């Protein structure tokens, strides 16, 4: 993939220095957070590229399936909570 300096300056800047994982200083040394810093607009553009790459590779379909399952679980739990609230349990 070629990323144009003039056509995609924010995407390029994200790759070069703006899309980063924040350092955490600990007693054992330096560690990094599990998720990147959300510094707009660089994080938005990088996330967009990641979603496009996932879609092309088929990974996004798997993520959507997991999301659908989690949403169904949440709806079932809300229904149970509502029934318990009405019935007094």
Domain ranges of the chain: 7-57, 59-89
Half-sphere exposure of 45 (CA within 13 A, CB side): 16
pLDDT tens-digit profile of 6-59? 888 999 998 898 888 999 998 999 999 998 888 889 999 999 998 888 877 776
Length of the chain: 89
Query: For residue 46, which of 3, 78, 77 has the smallest C-alpha distance?
Result: 3
pTM recorded for the entire structure: 0.53
């Amino acid at each position: 993939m070629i990323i144009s300096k003039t056509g995609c300056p924010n995407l390029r800047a994200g790759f070069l220095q703006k899309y980063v994982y924040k350092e955490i200083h600990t007693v054992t040394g330096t560690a990094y957070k599990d998720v990147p810093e959300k510094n707009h607009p660089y994080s938005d553009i990088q996330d967009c590229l990641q979603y496009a790459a996932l879609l092309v590779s088929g990974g996004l379909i798997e993520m959507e399936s997991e999301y659908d399952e989690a949403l169904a679980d949440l709806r079932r739990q809300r229904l149970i909570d509502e029934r318990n609230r009405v019935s007094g349990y």
